[in-house]
Structure 1
Amino acid sequence: MTPWPQLTGWPEGSPVPGRHLLLLPDGVAPDEVEVLAISRFSAARWERPPRVPSTRRETGAQATPGVLRLGRLSTVTGPFAANPALVSRLGASADLVTAWPVDVPRERVDTPALGGDRDGLRRAFGGQQPVREEGRVLRWLVDVARRLGGAIRTDTGVVLAPEMDAALDLTVFSDRWVEPDTVLAAARRIAPQAQADTPEVSPERLGTVAHTGRVLVERPDGGIGIDDPDERRRLHAEADAFDAWMVQNPPVAEGFGVLIDLGADGAVSVRAESEGDLPLVLHGLSWTAGEVVAYRVTWEPPELEELEAEHPSLVHRVARGRAAQVVRSIAREVQADVGGEVADMAGFLVDPAEL
């Protein structure tokens, strides 16, 4: 284990405005935190990289924490070793052994309570919610803690420990459109009950279009402004011919879906659509210069409101655990067919081999 210096002088009583603490478990390397920062902040960079002794002459020397800049006025420093006694006094889990102090301008505004509080930010900050740079940094800290199994001790003294499984949806970003049957086949390799979720034109609709001309001609208000009944009939015939052609030759779909019924565990959907809002880490790549398709694999629980609960019911967590494996497996299969990258709900990339 790297001999990082102990965290000392951390305020355990009165809060220091804008000074939060990211706590992480053993085994998280500094470059993992760096990658997650680069994934969210365009200006993220090491102002002073962490230094680990590497030569024999330095054996026994202490490592030096780094300073990672997130924004113009915000930094995260670390890692430091956090002894169990300190972690316990801070109110966090004892298995969190490294600490990263975070400095950010304190920016709060009165915010009405709308919806749930999945991340616990309302519990931590009440009606005065972080906004602008502090808001962006706090949301990033929550996502990092969820991704790496850590926690945040906010400057209000509240500890946030987001569940790693609470954000299980995944998106495959690719430069390839594929036929709906390709995605359906990928889903059925995991869940044979998967079905196409696309609207179909009924025989009744086809019959209606085929006989629209006669109906329109007989309507008293048909062809308002045109006195000649033969001209009205001709215009209606042209419109009907166009409608019939469109039914037989529909335009290329802008998206399509697949639905997997999980019974008591809800459902998983796969939606394919053109995407313009890419995760920051994908910007500037050659294959993202043109059209990018997002294949979104999403869990729909039986009780939607539980998605926004910080501490959902046991029934929800059990269903979520079973659905998570379906989501991960389908995303892996879709990525194998369409290529590209997989990203989680926070915009962090996921290695398909780990799904």
Structure 2
Amino acid sequence: MTAPSAAPAALDGSHVLAVPHGTSLLDLARAWFPTAAWSREPATAAQAAAARPMTGARFRGIAVAPPDPAGVLSLDGVVEVVGPYAVGAAEARALALPAQDSDLYGLPAAPVAGATVHPGLVTGWATAVARRTGGGILPAARDRALVPDPAAVVDLTLWSAVPLRPDDALPLVRPALSGSRLAAPAPPAGGAPEGFALVARYEYDGEVEVRCAHSREVPVVLSTLDWREHGPWGYHVTWHPPDPLELEVPQPSQLHVIARQRVAPSIARAVATLWRTVGGTVVDAGGFVVPHEEVDARARPR
């Protein structure tokens, strides 16, 4: 998708992340970079208005540069994201970004000396944020716009402190994932829970796997929450489409999209049911917390 180079001049030479106006970028940053913080907070509307250069005959001929109202968000103490710069829906459309009131943020287009994070991680985070929020990215070259499909990834994981045995989990997920069955032998009766996998297969839609496993590594975003809100048991609900390669292409076939639309509500319903049983926190494939209200919304057929 071709994009004209009409972004604010202050962002020249930077990659640009566009998110819907009013999005809290700090919360999204801490999902991947827990120490992220504003080293300079963005000016409020009132502060920006108060800082405008004075006009009138008394000040004529005096050149005063207006202060930059943008903030500086430090991801790791070195790598900085600058913004927001607000643009209207028409301006966003002209940049080949989603046609909505947006906030633009500048990201480094080259490695930053002394940074503790790899540039690829920053780019991956920006792409995940764009997908999560329904935003987009303009590369520094301004030769195209990247607009990830928010509906492209339907997998969810519930992180809980409570393990279920497979014979308890199966009747919970079957109403949402019809035909679910145990994919591996269950542990001996009375034995300690060791995890399990359930699978539901569909003729045209591939299969959905529910895998419960204890993990020593959990998503970074969980470190920002109270420890009582999650646990080491991950209930991973994953869709395996008929053609897995279609997960990697920006414009999958219509058959893939239709299958995804049929499967996505079932995944959300299964996760919602598990959450009501064992509690915990739901995290999407991008590493961001998914509120329960959103899980319920996803569970409604479209």
How would you bin the TM-score normalised by the shorter chain? 0.7 to 0.9
Deviation at 1:345, TM superposition (A): 0.8
Structure 2 residue aligned with 1:334: 274
Contact 1:65 1:78 survives alignment (8 Å) = yes
Identity, % of aligned pairs? 29
Q: Distance in 2 between matches of 1:340 and 1:281?
A: 13
Q: Distance in 1 between matches of 2:150 and 2:293?
A: 18
TM-score normalised according to structure 2 size? 0.78
Deviation at 1:74, TM superposition (A): 1.8
Structure 1 residue aligned with 2:16: 21
Structure 1 residue 9 corresponds to structure 2 residue 9: yes
In structure 1, stretches of 5+ residues that fail to align are 1-5, 108-130, 201-246
Q: Distance in 1 between matches of 2:272 and 2:10?
A: 43
Contact 1:71 1:133 survives alignment (8 Å) = no
Q: Deviations over 1:10-29 (max 9, x none)?
A: 577xxx2xx10011234x33
Contact 2:36 2:77 survives alignment (8 Å) = no
Q: Deviations over 1:307-354 (max 9, x none)?
A: 111211111111111111111111111111111100001211111221
Aligned length: 270
Kindly provide the amino acid, as one letter, of the partner of residue 94 in structure 1.
A
* SS of residue matched to 1:295: strand
Structure 1 residue aligned with 2:129: 144
Contact 1:170 1:298 survives alignment (8 Å) = yes
* SS of residue matched to 1:142: helix
TM-score normalised according to structure 1 size? 0.67
Contact 2:40 2:73 survives alignment (8 Å) = yes
Structure 2 residue aligned with 1:303: 243
Q: How does 1:1-355 map to 2 (within 5 A)?
A: 8-9=8-9, 16=13, 19-26=14-21, 28-29=22-23, 32-53=24-45, 64-83=69-88, 86-95=91-100, 97-103=102-108, 105-106=110-111, 133-157=118-142, 158-199=144-185, 252=192, 254-283=194-223, 285-287=226-228, 292-355=232-295
Q: Distance in 2 between matches of 1:64 and 1:70?
A: 19
* SS of residue matched to 1:144: helix
Bigger Rg over Cα: 1
Deviation at 1:250, TM superposition (A): 9.2
Q: Distance in 1 between matches of 2:93 and 2:227?
A: 48
Q: Distance in 2 between matches of 1:351 and 1:87?
A: 28
Contact 2:81 2:106 survives alignment (8 Å) = yes
Greater share of helix: 1
Contact 2:36 2:75 survives alignment (8 Å) = yes
Q: Distance in 1 between matches of 2:44 and 2:189?
A: 65
Alpha-carbon RMSD: 3.2
Contact 1:75 1:104 survives alignment (8 Å) = no
Q: Deviations over 1:101-147 (max 9, x none)?
A: 2235338xxxxxxxxxxxxxxxxxxxxxxx95211110000000000
Q: Distance in 1 between matches of 2:227 and 2:138?
A: 40
Deviation at 1:43, TM superposition (A): 2.4
Kindly provide the amino acid, as one letter, of the partner of residue 47 in structure 1.
S
Q: Distance in 2 between matches of 1:93 and 1:192?
A: 36
Moved more, 310-319 or 90-99: 90-99
